[in-house]
Amino acid sequence: MEATHRPVISSTGLFTPSESISNEELVESFNKYVELFNAENADAIAAGGVEALAPSSVEFIEKASGIKARNVMVKDPILDPETMSPRWEERGNDELSILAEIGVKAARQALERAGRRPENVDAVLCAASNMQRPYPAMAIEIQQALGIDGFAFDMNVACSSATFGIQTAADYIRAGNAKSVLVVSPEITSGHLNWRDRDSHFIFGDVATAVLVEDAAIAPPDHWDILGTRLKTVFSNNIRNNFGFLNRAHPETSNAADKLFVQEGRKVFKEVVPMVAQMIVDEAERLSIDPRGLRRLWLHQANTGMNRLIAHRVLGHEASEDESPTVLDTYGNTSSAGSIIAFHLHSEDLAEGDTGLICSFGAGYSAGTVFVRKTAA
């Protein structure tokens, strides 16, 4: 008889950069930039040729998003009103690149927590929305730095990269092609964020997460059974970044604002909430799980308002912080890593048999669900 392979989550890892920017610091620097811009362009503004910039506000940011602070790899250049973008020394090809470095830190923690040696891992997926370069793959660099034999590749599904990575890893396990797969999501979102754009300058933060997906046959006794995974994509221009190597063909526009993150925030809110809530309920039904009985939702951390609405539609009541924990307040939106940070920080208290949901949504549009159940020794 053919052996069945059951995918589980054996462990997770988290790397948090040491520097953090509060809303107060962010707004102070943004408003200095606005003052400078308006002073430098005073004549053109008076003549009607240039529009004056409006200041940002701490109250708006917190009310609209729930974000109070965000971690970043480097704080000073972002807050310098003359720079307003991250800066670091370019590294040589023989040095570990910065994105791989933080991915390795999160991955090492996941391996340690599972008691897994790198030589027993079969594959590494670098699943993130902000790759440092097209090739060689970040995943292969991470694989080498960890000392893993096997294969590795990058996948970018924007904010849903981690859940798409988990399903891909789970499928390798189910098919018997791998027993242990690392899904690493290093997100240096400060590089794609337009820190000069009042509508979005507060949204993102930097971080790295890792998820070790394994065959139940080799997993540690404490793990999370993966009950089912489901992915969905629907094309939308409402979250978009046009940065890419083909921009070199258009040098005159290659630094324009659309080569950074741009979104129609209200449309995203209106269109994504019902799509994701329905997807969760449909998938729960397929798996014979009562969504109202879910012990915890680890949702993508984009916006507290979106999460509140999605959780309400799934659970049938206003979710408590215990039912749908937020990490958005201190981490900001960390793209694909958000739901994994929530899971990493808020899952140890669950009991054997508790069922929960890791869920992501974002650009593409893309959305992914991973229903899990705790198994304890």
Residues that are catalytic: 159
Closest separation between CB of residue 346 and ligand COA, Å? Answer: 20
Q: Specify the stretch interacting with ligand COA by CB under 6 A; choose among 37-45, 115-123, 198-206, 315-323.
A: 198-206
User: From the list 31, 38, 60, 113, which residue makes contact with ligand COA (rule: CB under 6 A)?
Assistant: 60
- Residue whose token pair is 């019902």: 274
Q: How far is CA 353 from CA 87, 224, 321, 340, 359, in A?
A: 46, 9, 20, 20, 19
The secondary structure of residue 17, as a DSSP letter, is: -
Are 226 and 370 in contact by the 8 Å Cβ rule? The answer is yes
Closest separation between CB of residue 149 and ligand COA, Å? Answer: 36
> Quick check: 99 binds ligand COA (CB under 6 A)?
no
User: From the list 38, 41, 57, 156, which residue makes contact with ligand COA (rule: CB under 6 A)?
Assistant: 57
> Strands 7-15 and 223-233, how do they pair?
antiparallel
User: From the list 12, 23, 65, 369, which residue makes contact with ligand COA (rule: CB under 6 A)?
Assistant: 65
- Residue whose token pair is 């390798």: 172
Residues numbered 320-339 forming contacts with ligand COA, rule: CB under 6 A: 333
Closest separation between CB of residue 120 and ligand COA, Å? Answer: 35
Q: Specify the stretch interacting with ligand COA by CB under 6 A; choose among 148-156, 162-170, 211-219, 262-270.
A: 262-270
Q: Which two tokens stand for residue 180?
A: 């242990």
List the beta bridge partners of residue 70.
21
User: From the list 13, 86, 165, 362, which residue makes contact with ligand COA (rule: CB under 6 A)?
Assistant: 362
Output 248 or 266, the one with its CB closest to ligand COA.
266
Half-sphere exposure (Cβ direction) of 23: Cα atoms closer than 13 Å: 21
User: From the list 268, 280, 294, 328, which residue makes contact with ligand COA (rule: CB under 6 A)?
Assistant: 268
Of 60, 54, 57, the residue nearest 35 (C-alpha): 54
Half-sphere exposure (Cβ direction) of 121: Cα atoms closer than 13 Å: 30
Separation between Cα atoms, residue 11 and residue 107, nearest integer Å: 10
User: From the list 239, 328, 341, 357, which residue makes contact with ligand COA (rule: CB under 6 A)?
Assistant: 239
In the three-class reduction of DSSP (H, G, I as helix; E, B as strand; rest coil), residue 196 is classed as coil
> Quick check: 23 binds ligand COA (CB under 6 A)?
no
User: From the list 180, 236, 263, 324, which residue makes contact with ligand COA (rule: CB under 6 A)?
Assistant: 263
Strands (E), the chain: 7-15, 19-22, 69-72, 123-127, 151-155, 180-187, 207-215, 223-233, 239-240, 262-263, 296-299, 355-362, 366-375
> Quick check: 280 binds ligand COA (CB under 6 A)?
no
> Quick check: 159 binds ligand COA (CB under 6 A)?
yes
> Quick check: 199 binds ligand COA (CB under 6 A)?
yes
Output 15 or 261, the one with its CB closest to ligand COA.
261
Geometric angle at alpha carbon 75, from 72 and 76, rounded to 5°: 165
Of 13, 213, 39, the residue nearest 103 (C-alpha): 13
> Quick check: 233 binds ligand COA (CB under 6 A)?
no
Q: Which residue is nearest to ligand COA (CB)?
A: 265
List the beta bridge partners of residue 127.
155
Output 61 or 166, the one with its CB closest to ligand COA.
61
Closest separation between CB of residue 38 and ligand COA, Å? Answer: 16
Residues numbered 33-52 forming contacts with ligand COA, rule: CB under 6 A: none
Closest separation between CB of residue 137 and ligand COA, Å? Answer: 24
Q: Which two tokens stand for residue 376?
A: 């304890």
User: From the list 302, 314, 327, 367, which residue makes contact with ligand COA (rule: CB under 6 A)?
Assistant: 302
User: From the list 266, 288, 321, 348, which residue makes contact with ligand COA (rule: CB under 6 A)?
Assistant: 266
Q: Which two tokens stand for residue 185?
A: 């999501």
Amino acid at 234: V
Q: Which residues bind ligand COA (CB under 6 A)?
A: 56-57, 60-61, 64-65, 159, 198-199, 203, 239, 263, 265-266, 268-269, 302-303, 306, 333, 362
